Structure 1
Amino acid sequence: MTVNQFAAADLMSNLDDRSREIFRNIVETYLESGEPLGSRTLARMLTASLSPASVRNVMSDLEELGLIYAPHISAGRLPTQKGLRFFVDAFMQVGDLQPDLRHEIESQVRRTSAGRPVETVLTEASQMLSGLSRGAGLVIAAKTDHAIRHIEFIRLDPQRALVVLVGDNDEVENRVMELPAGVTASQLTEAANYLNAHLAGRTMSEARGELRGLQAELRRELDELSSDLVERGLAVWAGSEQGGAARMIVRGRANLLDSLAAGEELDRLRLLFDELERKENLIELMTLAEEGSGVRIFIGSENKLFSLSGSSLIVAPYRDGENQVVGAVGIIGPTRLNYARIVPMVDYTAQLVSRILR
């Protein structure tokens, strides 16, 4: 049992069958509609006959345990974050994927993987998860060090140039670099030609090592400004945050707009979009995925990466041929996600991506 499951077992021991049924109905109604559930409606839903007054007494006990709350005076009840976690750990039953859904996921992932760059496969996986879950599909991919096919310098203005790098996987990456004073168009061309002649076919890390061994030849064959350009052209990747250890692919943000109401919910959604734009927390998300062997669920503030917006994250790691975690796939959305349905989808998608990478 996990720590959460121990806590859930302790809470469960404090609830009788009637309290469990009332709590489960409140949560399931919230997950289905987002609406609070009142005592009169609850009384009609129960298997045993119970008056609204008796239901309110049970609801009061559940509030004292921190499992539900009243969003407004005289309103029904909604689950708290603690209540949602308790429901997921103690009540939720995750079954196998339906055969048709399993086939749909497999056919989409397999179709996009045939002769396509890994980036394309991951993007399509994110898009697919978004479409199936009505949340935002999320993929975290470890930064790969592909071999260099071509490098080019394009002047933007007297002080800056765009460094264009084409990898052997057909990915194109651009970086803006500062130019040393006095650089001419011919020197930009000369520097690019030197890099392509000596470093094509090598990865970026190999290229930097190769360049260190060519320092004497570099100074001999090129003038000072051109050799400076060569070194800057490679250094701009080493120091760029885009060249970091991971990248994030998010698809289906518009789906979140459909699932949230106006007012406070939309404010939280704007916070989520801001959080998704931040790159510095990607390593932490990779770490979260690595800490578990399968699917992990983070609800509200449990999820440090998106805690401001109070969103939920369902994430599972995928692995390479050496069984090392190299990324994660998942769904991010409001706490009112269909966890039981989404967990097996995320798990199966991660398994498929792992098989493709092997």
Structure 2
Amino acid sequence: MTMPIKDPTLQTLDMRSRDIFRRIVDSYLLDGEPVGSRNLSRMLPSSLSPATVRNVMSDLEQAGLIYAPHISAGRLPTQKGLRFFVDAFMELGDLTDEERRNIETQMLASGSGTSLEQMLTDASQMLSGMSRGAGLVLAAKNEAALKHMEFIQLEPQRALVVLVSQSGDVENRVIDLPEGVTASQLQEATNFLNGHIRGLTLGEARTNIQRLRAETKLALDALSEQLVEKGLAVWAGADSGLPAKLIVRGRANLLENMSEQTDMDLLRHLFDDLETQEGLIQLLDLAEEGSGVRIFIGSENKLFSLSGSSLVVAPYRDKDARVVGALGVIGPTRLNYARIVPMVDYTAQLISRLLR
């Protein structure tokens, strides 16, 4: 797990300032409400007057760590203050034995006899339920080993190409058929592909078929050879599009935290951005840049700058230790980071084990 980096600002705060700052942040993470000097003076173990607390709060405000959302209101942490808190003060909790068992039970049940996509969908749903945020899983495309491909004729010049991975995932594409293709040629192309793609990823299968071009010409007639190329090319087109699939569960949890229509519009804009090619690439890059859990608060990442959301994300890996996806939790900036970080980390490690 990525360890917090101690912020040099910590050295400039005395113990009293640290205590008051932590209590402001703790209060915000608990209920999202600003806290004033009078309430803070009651919380503190030492007998500090509200006036003394106000002086400390003024210093914290000048340092950019807290702000007043309204005149005469209490104080809330700024985005800089939340980052400072996460890096300098946050003590990561640990999952309880019951939470670990719950995660293991759900993931092991998903990993047994179900497709990879279903397992990842279940992981997204589980993270949403445990965090009360939105669970997010980014699944890399076309990495699974292939099991079977089949052509099914729909019309004289159209066919459905069915691709089945060894993990049980099924994808369908419709292609145009060369003029004059017969049912026997469709079967011939199916048999040839299945004799040469089993156990390979799509990229490896395409390379293998190209390497066997001479053998392909001997084994197939011209129309059947075109079918083989079309069958693989339809997924080659997918390769050049979105690099991954995004699975999000629990969006309603985020909407519950939005108080105004403007906030909801910004949140919808966030999910629209996430599902674009650029958004998916950014998410995968975020996960690949670190070896463990990473925390992004508000505008620290441009995907989240408008919505003011936070992301806790970790990569998961295949049997060759390659990063093949990412999972995490999106929520308001007052996420319970100390609880969610170990939850995301443990789930990512468990999925990595199940992929080996």
- Report the TM-score, using the length of structure 1 for normalisation: 0.86
- The question of 1:45 aligning with 2:39 is answered no
Deviations 1:184-225 (A, max 9, x none): 6xx27456323311001514334423543346855995465x
Deviations 1:324-354 (A, max 9, x none): 3332221111111000111111111112112
Count of aligned residue pairs for this structure pair:
349
Which residue matches 2:66? 68
- The question of 1:197 aligning with 2:191 is answered yes
- Report the TM-score, using the length of structure 2 for normalisation: 0.86
Deviations 1:32-85 (A, max 9, x none): 111122222222222222333332222221111111112222222111111000
Checking the alignment, whether the CA contact within 8 Å between 1:152 and 1:165 is kept in structure 2 is: no
1:34-113 mapped onto 2 (5 Å cutoff)? 34-113=32-111
| Alpha-carbon distance, 1:183 to partner | 3.9
Which residue matches 2:146? 147
Checking the alignment, whether the CA contact within 8 Å between 2:216 and 2:225 is kept in structure 1 is: no
Checking the alignment, whether the CA contact within 8 Å between 2:145 and 2:165 is kept in structure 1 is: yes
| Segment drifting more, 83-92 vs 279-288 | 279-288
Which residue matches 2:321? 323
Q: Please give the root-mean-square deviation of Cα atoms over the aligned residues, in Å.
A: 2.9
Checking the alignment, whether the CA contact within 8 Å between 1:246 and 1:282 is kept in structure 2 is: yes
Q: Which runs of 5+ in 2 are unaligned?
A: none
One-letter identity of the residue aligned with 1:141: A
CA distance in 1, matches of 2:19, 2:264: 31
Checking the alignment, whether the CA contact within 8 Å between 1:237 and 1:243 is kept in structure 2 is: no
Deviations 1:274-298 (A, max 9, x none): 1232233333333322332221111
Deviations 1:154-186 (A, max 9, x none): 65898x765432334332213354x37x846xx
| Alpha-carbon distance, 1:25 to partner | 1.6
CA distance in 1, matches of 2:127, 2:3: 29
| Alpha-carbon distance, 1:12 to partner | 1.3
Identity %: 59
Checking the alignment, whether the CA contact within 8 Å between 1:303 and 1:312 is kept in structure 2 is: no
| Segment drifting more, 289-298 vs 242-251 | 242-251
Cα separation, partners in 2 of 1:137 and 1:232, compared to 1, 3 Å: same
CA distance in 1, matches of 2:194, 2:304: 40
One-letter identity of the residue aligned with 1:192: L
Checking the alignment, whether the CA contact within 8 Å between 1:24 and 1:87 is kept in structure 2 is: yes
CA distance in 2, matches of 1:28, 1:120: 37
Which residue matches 2:170? 172
CA distance in 2, matches of 1:244, 1:275: 13
One-letter identity of the residue aligned with 1:147: L
CA distance in 2, matches of 1:62, 1:157: 74
Checking the alignment, whether the CA contact within 8 Å between 2:149 and 2:161 is kept in structure 1 is: no
Cα separation, partners in 2 of 1:12 and 1:221, compared to 1, 3 Å: closer
CA distance in 1, matches of 2:222, 2:319: 45
CA distance in 1, matches of 2:12, 2:144: 54
1:176-255 mapped onto 2 (5 Å cutoff)? 176-177=174-175, 179=176, 183=179, 187=181, 189=183, 192-200=186-194, 202=197, 203=200, 204-212=202-210, 213-214=212-213, 218=217, 221-222=220-221, 227-241=225-239, 245-255=243-253
CA distance in 2, matches of 1:34, 1:211: 58
CA distance in 1, matches of 2:78, 2:240: 38
Checking the alignment, whether the CA contact within 8 Å between 2:318 and 2:352 is kept in structure 1 is: yes
| Alpha-carbon distance, 1:133 to partner | 0.5
CA distance in 1, matches of 2:182, 2:131: 49
Checking the alignment, whether the CA contact within 8 Å between 1:295 and 1:317 is kept in structure 2 is: yes
CA distance in 1, matches of 2:82, 2:90: 10
One-letter identity of the residue aligned with 1:310: G
CA distance in 1, matches of 2:185, 2:164: 16
| Segment drifting more, 60-69 vs 119-128 | 119-128
Q: Which runs of 5+ in 1 are unaligned?
A: none
One-letter identity of the residue aligned with 1:296: R
Cα separation, partners in 2 of 1:35 and 1:256, compared to 1, 3 Å: same
Deviations 1:277-322 (A, max 9, x none): 2233333333322332221111112224433322211112222333
| Segment drifting more, 80-89 vs 142-151 | 142-151
CA distance in 2, matches of 1:319, 1:36: 41
Which residue matches 2:348? 350
One-letter identity of the residue aligned with 2:149: H
Q: Could you say what secondary structure the match of 1:93 adopts?
A: coil
CA distance in 2, matches of 1:223, 1:97: 60
Checking the alignment, whether the CA contact within 8 Å between 1:318 and 1:353 is kept in structure 2 is: yes
